[in-house]
């Protein structure tokens, strides 16, 4: 199955010089969405997962589906100021700016086995920040999972300490 057929490029979004990988055509096709979810589950293999983290906002789509299939809890990681409870915060850099991510302070328990999911691995700054948040809370990162990896940005280098799996490579 060539999932790339369901990803469209949007030039100069969100800023000049960036080619945005739009996953909405994949999400819009129920059969392809199911196949992509199954393929992402296969990347996890038989690992026992307690929590699946989805990163704001496109990481939420598959992270909730993966959590349901893995019989695990779902944990949203959001941009600063979006979560209503006590949070831990971590600054990060991405290919077109800087921001901060937050997680509820009680979302991950000591020794929880965690799958981190996002739609795209680009420079790796977002995923690395999430890994640091999980570790601060005492969780064990089983894998960082991505729908798309932009290999030319070498984001995997930021995640050398973790197992990384991606479904689609550009």
What pLDDT does 98 receive? 81
Q: Read off the pTM.
A: 0.94
113 an active-site residue?
Answer: no
Query: Could you read off the pLDDT of 117-131 as tens digits, one per residue?
Result: 999 999 899 999 999
56 an active-site residue?
Answer: no
What backbone phi and psi angles, to 5 degrees, belong to 143?
-165, 150
Residue 98 has what DSSP assignment?
E
HSE of 25 in the Cβ direction (CA atoms, 13 Å)?
10
Q: What CA–CA distances, in Å, run from 123 to 27, 70, 129, 154?
A: 24, 28, 12, 6
Query: Could you read off the pLDDT of 40-50 as tens digits, one per residue?
Result: 999 998 899 99
| b/e sequence 54-86, b meaning 16+ C-beta within 10 Å | bbbebbbbbbebbbeebebbbbbbbeeeebeee
What pLDDT does 46 receive? 87
Domain-wise residue ranges, the chain: 46-169
What pLDDT does 95 receive? 58
Out of 8, 46, 56, 58, the active site residue is: 58
CA geometry: angle at 168 spanning 23 and 89, to 5°? 70
Domain 46-169 grouped into CATH 2.130.10.10: no
Query: Could you read off the pLDDT of 51-100 as tens digits, one per residue?
Result: 999 999 999 999 999 999 999 999 999 999 999 999 999 998 765 668 89
In the predicted model, what is the mean pLDDT of residues 145-168?
97
Query: Could you read off the pLDDT of 16-29 as tens digits, one per residue?
Result: 998 999 999 999 99
Out of 8, 46, 56, 95, the active site residue is: 95
């Amino acid at each position: 199955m060539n999932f790339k057929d369901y990803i469209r490029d949007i030039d100069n979004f969100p800023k000049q010089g960036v080619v945005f990988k739009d996953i909405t055509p994949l999400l819009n096709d129920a059969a392809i969405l199911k196949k992509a979810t199954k393929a992402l589950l296969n990347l996890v293999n038989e690992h026992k997962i307690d929590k699946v983290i989805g990163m704001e906002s496109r990481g939420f789509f598959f992270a909730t589906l993966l959590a349901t299939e893995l019989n695990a809890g779902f944990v949203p990681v959001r941009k600063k100021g979006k979560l209503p409870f006590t949070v831990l915060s971590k600054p990060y850099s991405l290919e077109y700016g800087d921001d901060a991510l937050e997680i509820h302070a009680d979302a991950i328990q000591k020794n929880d086995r965690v799958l981190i999911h996002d739609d795209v691995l680009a420079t790796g700054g977002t995923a690395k920040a999430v890994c640091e948040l999980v570790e601060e809370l005492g969780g064990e990162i089983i894998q960082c999972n991505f729908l798309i990896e932009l290999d030319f940005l070498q984001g995997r280098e930021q995640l050398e300490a973790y197992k990384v799996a991606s479904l689609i490579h550009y």
